[in-house]
Structure 1
Amino acid sequence: YSRFSDFYEENMCGDLEYEAPNRIKEQLDRYFDAGAERNALELGCGTGLAGKVIRPCAGHLTGIDLSPEMVAKCRTHGDLYDTLQVAEITAFLADANARGAEYDLIIACDTLIYFGDLRQVIEPGSTVLKSGGRLIFTVEKGDMAPFRLTDSGRYSHTKHHIREVAADAGLEVIGLEKGFLRYEYGEPVAGLVATLGK
């Protein structure tokens, strides 16, 4: 993604008709009580496309991404994020847990498609989620349980896998819906958007 940072937004919003942030917004509107005291974390913030829908929901927004170039692009959006950090997701969550950090809201928009078993992120994510908090994410919809590496190099996941991982992490599945994420090679990419609660 470092190579694509300069034209990422144009490509996603133009050619691919990227809708994943809108799926996140729908879940936020339905299942999250926004407020100035809310502390939010976005995993895999990219250039900040989802940050634009998360920002109105929280008084403090932290964004992390593995790509320094994506984080640099994110900084050009001014005050969209209060804190930006180059970090690998699982390492960041382990460190956040060790520091005793807690979040009211954790978002992963088109990020968990790079993980097979979602336990890698959901379980450590649950440890830094406040009681009453929400973990909202999108994945590509799969039909082969529990997850599968597709020809695109991304993983698809089933509803069953999401429910199982949530239960193992002590989280409740509040919302789990199908939704269009974007186009790829002219074909719509079917996704799942999940809201888990603690």
Structure 2
Amino acid sequence: MPARLFMSSGDLMADRRFDFARDFQLKGDLVAAADLLRQAIELAPDFASAWFTLGEIREQLGEREEAIAAFRQARDADAEDRHGAGLRLMLLGAEKLSNMPPGYVRSLFDQYAPKFEKALVDDLGYRGPALLFKAVLAVRAAARKPALFRHAIDLGCGTGLAARAFASEVGRFTGIDLSPRMLEQARASGHYARLEQSEMLQGLRDQPEVSADLILAADAMVYVNDLVPLMREAARVLAPGGLLAFTTETHDGQGIILGEGLRYAHSAACVREAIGAAGLTLARLEYLSARNEDNTPVPGLVVVAAKA
């Protein structure tokens, strides 16, 4: 996983108290850590990292209301919410589910980029691109069409793992990712004709109509709350007969939930409804896990939708 985000307060003494607090937190002395964080915040009232860490500690101590207050202060102190305090508020049930802050996603993956592939493939057994490739081949075979695509768009392209899996079947790849450091890795892969730094929905909005015949989103929909706007843009961008193929995490209930890992899980019914609302046709939906967590497969879906 990426290194823990730290944003300096600009006050040397406040930063040093934060460092001491983190040492106590890691040693399990949460009360002492909280006290040091309060001291740091007194010196630097807009110290977002201190507020966020204090929220974590309050939550660990079972002090829910105090945790909520601290996370709100952390979010207010950083307009981009790079720590993801808003997500912690959603997880605590203090706020309704909404889209992830782009600043949080960008910061997360900028930190993750240098060891992304090793952590994902070696440590988490990531298999999303291979599962998508098999699903797309199966859909094309069922339709008696070749699995060859002139232009594919890779949403949340990361380092290029999905493009690598589909390289022999795609003439030209456009990659879209919010993280500049991930895009550096993708550029080095040599798989992309074009790379764009953008949030996925906006990235699709920037594409011409009927300009792609395959859109991929491998392990990217877990960062999207409401799938419908993204599906509608995908339908606009796809050429007739084009495919949208993606993985997502799922759960046994209804609708959308935010898991402890700060990733959205979509029920199968939710996915079907979003595809229908976008005017696409569900071609394939399989209950398959794209990755592990604690050596256990995470419940997931592999989905292919087609444009008529």
Q: TM-score, normalised by structure 2?
A: 0.61
- The 5-angstrom pairing of residues 1-198 of structure 1 reads 1-32=109-140, 33-35=146-148, 38-78=150-190, 80-96=191-207, 99-100=208-209, 102-198=211-307
Q: Which amino acid aligns with 1:13?
A: V
Give the secondary-structure state (helix, strand or coil) at the position aligned to 1:5.
helix
Q: Which amino acid aligns with 1:53?
A: A
1:12 Cα deviation after fit: 0.9
Give the secondary-structure state (helix, strand or coil) at the position aligned to 1:50.
helix
1:101 Cα deviation after fit: 5.3
Q: Which amino acid aligns with 1:196?
A: A
Mapped partners of 1:120, 1:26: distance in 2: 26
Give the secondary-structure state (helix, strand or coil) at the position aligned to 2:161.
coil
> Which residues of structure 2 form unaligned runs of 5+?
1-108, 141-145
Q: Which amino acid aligns with 2:198?
A: A
Mapped partners of 1:170, 1:63: distance in 2: 24
Q: Deviations over 1:38-90 (max 9, x none)?
A: 11100000001111112222111111100000000111112x11111111111
Q: Which has the higher strand share?
A: 1
Mapped partners of 1:105, 1:70: distance in 2: 21
Mapped partners of 1:45, 1:110: distance in 2: 9
Q: Which amino acid aligns with 1:50?
A: A
Give the secondary-structure state (helix, strand or coil) at the position aligned to 2:286.
strand
Mapped partners of 1:92, 1:13: distance in 2: 26
Q: Which has the higher helix share?
A: 2
Contact 2:210-2:236 at 8 Å conserved across structures: no
Mapped partners of 2:253, 2:226: distance in 1: 13
Q: Deviations over 1:129-161 (max 9, x none)?
A: 111000000000122211111111001011111
Mapped partners of 1:18, 1:190: distance in 2: 13
Contact 1:40-1:106 at 8 Å conserved across structures: yes
Q: Deviations over 1:157-179 (max 9, x none)?
A: 11111111111111100000011
CA RMSD in angstroms comes to 1.3
Q: Which has the higher contact order (CA 8 A, sep 6+)?
A: 1
Q: Percent identity, aligned pairs only?
A: 35
Give the secondary-structure state (helix, strand or coil) at the position aligned to 2:288.
strand
Mapped partners of 2:229, 2:281: distance in 1: 17
**Which range is displaced more, 147-156 or 48-57?**
48-57
Give the secondary-structure state (helix, strand or coil) at the position aligned to 1:176.
strand
Contact 1:105-1:134 at 8 Å conserved across structures: yes
Mapped partners of 1:172, 1:100: distance in 2: 18
The 1:72/1:13 distance shift into structure 2, 3 A limit, reads: same
How many pairs are equivalent? Answer: 194
